[in-house]
Amino acid sequence: MKEVRPTSGKLLLALVNILESKGKLHGCIFLDLFAGTGRVGIEALKHNAGMVYFIETLKSRAAEIKNAIPFDYKDQSAVLAMELRRALSWLIKRGRIFDVIFADPPYNEGWNKTLVPILENNHLLLKDDGMFIYEHSARESINYSTWKLAESRFYGESALTFFSKEDLI
């Protein structure tokens, strides 16, 4: 099993502050892709997200996420132990639409070339005024075509890159 790389505290605080300043966190429907420990989605719940879906490929990690979600938030969360493309298809078939999609895939494994195009092809998952946030290595450039690159913010070796269907930032 690959080692999980949780989002750093500094980056998580920055993410929460940005989302709150843009009015994108309170009551939002949040999708946490490559959930790992579930730290980002759980923090979204603690900051009043309306619902958080966690996607984690490994069943053992998905079970750990379920156990880590505080009892008060169990009804506002769903953990899916599925491969990314299968999970996106599952969500689309059920009409799920998100205000915020956050992804933190493993660094330096090629996701910088494929992730945004995969999501662009599944654009129905993101509300028209929604925001896609991609955490990645600061050394990686990202391929995209139809979504608008709003901004990138750098935090040491990591970066948060914000995409939208319209200019949000």
Q: Tell whether pTM > 0.75.
A: yes
**In this structure, what token pair is assigned to residue 160?**
């948060």
Domain ranges of the chain: 9-47+56-108+124-155
List of residues 6+ apart from 157 with CB closer than 8 A:
137, 138, 139
**Both tokens of residue 96?**
């799920």
- In CATH, what class is 9-47+56-108+124-155? alpha beta
- Which residues are registered as beta bridge partners of 54? 32, 79
pLDDT at 25: 95
Q: What is the pLDDT of residues 74-87, one digit of tens each?
A: 999 999 999 999 99
pLDDT of residue 2: 54
Q: What is the mean pLDDT of each run of 10 residues along the chain (169 residues)?
A: 69 95 95 96 97 97 97 97 97 97 93 92 93 94 88 94 72
**Which residues 6+ apart lie within 8 Å of 72 measured at CB?**
none
Contact at 8 Å (CB) between 75 and 51? no
- Tokens standing for 68? 């880590």
